Amino acid sequence: MDHQSPHYLLVDDHSLIREGMMHAIRSLQPLARFSQSNTCRSALSHLANSAADPIDAVLLDLGLPDSSGVDTLKHVRQMATTQRIGIITGSTDAQLALECIHHGASCFIPKLGELDGFMTALQALVEGRLHFPADLLSSPAAMPDSPDLLPSIKLTPRQKDVLTWITRGCSNPVIATALGISPETVKLHVSAIFRAYKVHSRTQLVLLCSRQAPVEEQLP
């Protein structure tokens, strides 16, 4: 997020939680601006009407009056095709976190736990980095067999561009449009990135990248 005044959409049905998130983000980015929603329908409306004042990132609670669980993320991701989405949730379920990554979340931030941990996660989001719970990052089921090979990975400049969009949670068609290349070309780049990182899925790739130095981002 390179804007001087980043714009966040806060989606939670508790006004106290939204106020708390605003206060926490402003402690990290004093110039931050906010839109607020307490339902999925309202969030989709904000996103649909944000062309004049683009939203940089969405902080999303999955339990809303008109939507719940991963379906909430699916609905929002359909409208927020390029924005980073951080899940703010009362759940610490690793399987839920994996499903959220699969459907395009770049951060999974439990509301439970110590304030320092919450702020660390929130700082990752505002800086455009990935963040997932430590126990998820160490899960054998989620990780590839050979993470030690990462320091030697070499990608072409175009592959780095594609990887950055992947870590945003973007689909192949969205990446193709953003980079001005065909979906088939994106698919070839994604396959090459998977081979380089020795992973078999986007979920594994995003988790692996979250354990490493941030991907350099020069995208809008």
Domain co-membership, 187 together with 109: no
pLDDT tens-digit series, residues 50-88: 999 999 999 999 999 999 999 999 999 999 999 999 999
CATH of the domain at 176: 1.10.10.10
Q: Is the pLDDT of residue 213 over 80?
A: no
The radius of gyration computed from the CA coordinates of the chain, to the nearest angstrom, equals: 17
Residue 63, judged by CB atoms within 10 A of its CB (0-12, 13-18, 19+), counts as middle
Domain co-membership, 20 together with 97: yes
Q: How far apart are CA 27 and CA 123, in angstroms?
A: 10
Helix, strand or coil, per DSSP, at residue 5: coil
Domain co-membership, 15 together with 121: yes
Domain co-membership, 121 together with 167: no
Q: What is the dihedral of CA 157, 161, 167, 169, to 10 degrees?
A: -150
Domain co-membership, 75 together with 151: no
Task: Dig out the tokens for 211 from the structure.
Answer: 């354990």
Nearest alpha carbon to residue 9 among 45, 46, 39: 46
Rounded to two decimals, the pTM is 0.86
Of 137, 157, 175, the residue at which a domain comes to its end is 137
Q: Which pLDDT band, with edges at 50, 70 and 90, does 144 fall under?
A: low
What is the 8-class DSSP label of residue 107? E
Q: Evaluate whether residue 122 is within a structural domain.
A: yes
Q: What is the mean pLDDT of residues 136-158?
A: 65
Q: Evaluate whether residue 53 is within a structural domain.
A: yes
Q: What is the mean pLDDT of residues 26-36?
A: 95
Q: How far apart are CA 137 and CA 30, in angstroms?
A: 31
Domain co-membership, 119 together with 68: yes
The tally of domains found in the chain comes to 2
Range of the domain at 184: 147-210
pLDDT at 137: 66
